[in-house]
Each structure stands twice: as C-alpha cells, then as structure tokens.
Structure 1
Amino acid sequence: MPRYHLIGAALLLSLAGAAQATSFVVTTDAVVRAGAASTDATSDVTSSFRDDKIVQAARDDAASFVGSEGAIRGASLESAFLHIRQQLPALQASDAQLARAILVL
C-alpha cells in the first residue's frame, strides 16, 4: 500500500508542476502583450509631450492611477488625458496606457 501512496504523491507533484508552468506561460504572454500595447502609446506620447507642463503636472496623479489600477483619478491626470487626446486625435490608447506613458516621461 505505501507504494501506491508514493506513486500517487509523485503523480500529484508532477501535475502541480505542470499547472504552475502553464500559469507562468499564460502570465508571461499577458504581460508581454500588455507591454507591447503600452509601448506603442508610450512612444507616441513621450516623443510629443516630454516638456509639456500639463502632462508633467499629472505625474503624481498618473502614479496613483496606475498603482490603484484605475480607481484613483486625479484632476491633473484627467486634464492631461484630455490635453493629449486633443493634441493627438488619432492616438488609440486607453487611460491606463496613457498613465503609464506619462510616468515614463
């Protein structure tokens, strides 16, 4: 009987290892895709707004926005979003992507 317990334990451990590897791959893929999307927005915003006072003033609000996953939206950040979207109407970026781009400046 102890032999069956050892085989069962080995089987459970191997399945757990496979599940962890799969979740790691899925998480990594999601992070890479999100990074690529925000890189596009970041390159457009950073090249245009590096010295913009409205955008620079929103850095603290952008940090709060990113840190709270969008729950905290400061007035300076809202103003910067509006300003950026007026200056670059063709830019297709989410608020989260813009906030990350502002932090990169």
Structure 2
Amino acid sequence: MPIFRLLSLTGLLMFTAAASASSLVATTDTLVGALSEVAQSSSDATSSLRDNKVVLDARDDAAAFVASQGQIRGVQLEAALQHIRQQAPALQSDDLQLASAILSL
C-alpha cells in the first residue's frame, strides 16, 4: 500500500507542476502579445507621421519656429500641427515640442 500512495503522490505532483508551467506559458504569451501590439501601434503612428507629406513639408517652418522660440509661425507648420493633433488627439504636447519632433523626423 505505501507504493500505491507514493505513486499517487508522484502523479499528483507531476500534474500540479505541468498545470503551473502551462499557466506560466499562457500568462507570458498574453503579456508578450499585449506589449507587441502596443509597440506596433506606436510604431505605426510614428511611421505614418514620418511618411506624411504635410508634416515633412513643414520642416523649414518648424526650424524657424524652434529657432525663434515660437515667434515665427509658418503656414505649413500650422497645417502640420493641426494634422498631428487630428491624428493623435490624446497627444499632450505644446507647439514647440511638436515642432522639435517634426525636425527630428
């Protein structure tokens, strides 16, 4: 009878270990998938602005705006700022920060 108990205990421990490992793999897969989606969406947002003609055409105006500390505001920069704010309404950046970002594209 002790052999039966020992085998039962061993089987139960193996089952428990397998369930824990399975749970860890599922949790890890879920977290990695979520992080991957966030990275992809932010990459898509950046690349869409980087490839946008309105934003790229505003680089000279953005340079003048940054160099003058916001005193010179060109028409192309205004269009780009409006476009960026329409594309990313949750963005909490002022005009000088956005103009600097345009220059970095």
TM-score range for the pair, normalised by the shorter chain length:
0.5 to 0.7
Q: Structure 2: where are the runs of 5+ without partners?
A: 1-42
Partner of 1:62: 62
Give runs of ≥4 in structure 1 deviating > 2 Å.
Answer: 43-48
Q: Structure 1: where are the runs of 5+ without partners?
A: 1-42
- CA shift in 2, pair 1:86/1:77, >3 Å: same
User: What's the TM-score, normalizing by structure 2?
Assistant: 0.56
Percent identity among equivalent residues? Answer: 67
Residue 45 of structure 1 contacts residue 98 of structure 1 at CA under 8 Å; is this kept in 2? no
Aligned residues: 63
- Shift, 1:76, TM fit: 0.1
1:23-59 CA distance string (max 9 Å, x none): xxxxxxxxxxxxxxxxxxxx99744411100000000
Q: Secondary structure at the match of 2:79?
A: helix
In the aligned structure 1, how far is the partner of 2:44 from the partner of 2:94? Answer: 13
* Aligned partner letter, 1:71: Q
* Aligned partner letter, 2:87: Q
**1:19-38 mapped onto 2 (5 Å cutoff):** none
Partner of 1:74: 74
Q: Which has the larger radius of gyration?
A: 2
Structure showing greater relative contact order (alpha-carbon pairs closer than 8 Å, 6 or more residues apart): 1
* Alignment RMSD: 1.9
User: What's the TM-score, normalizing by structure 1?
Assistant: 0.56
Residue 45 of structure 1 contacts residue 102 of structure 1 at CA under 8 Å; is this kept in 2? no
